[in-house]
């Protein structure tokens, strides 16, 4: 079950990169001093990336735990 641990770790790292990317998008949008409606639209787009990355990271951690418990 070593392959499950490796795949889970890769998924978790990709999810972590997505979380950092979404945070950077929000920080960039806040620095641009946009109108309220435009800022909300950009934050909502980043929120979709954030939720997807968080889900991928959770699935990856679940794979790691499953791989470790089956080894």
Say which residue the tokens 């990317």 belong to. Answer: 21
* DSSP string for residues in 16-70: HHHHHHHHHHHHHHHHTT--HHHHHHHHHHHHHHHHHHHHHHHHHHHHHHHHHHH
pTM across the whole model:
0.83
34 conformational bin, left if phi > 0, alpha if psi -120 to 50, beta if neither: beta
pLDDT at 67 over 90: yes
pLDDT (0 to 100) of residue 3: 93
- CA-CA distance, 27 to 48, in Å (whole number)? 15
pLDDT band, residue 64 (cuts 50/70/90):
very high
**How is the chain split into domains, by residue range?**
2-64
Tens-place pLDDT, residues 16-63: 999 999 999 999 988 988 888 888 999 999 999 999 999 999 999 999
């Amino acid at each position: 079950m070593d392959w499950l641990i490796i795949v889970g770790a890769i998924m978790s790292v990709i999810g972590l990169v997505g979380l950092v990317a979404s945070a950077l998008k929000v920080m960039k949008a806040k620095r641009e001093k946009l109108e309220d409606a435009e800022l909300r639209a950009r934050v909502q787009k980043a929120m979709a990336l954030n939720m997807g990355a968080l889900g991928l990271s959770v699935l990856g951690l679940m794979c790691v735990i499953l791989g470790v418990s089956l080894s």
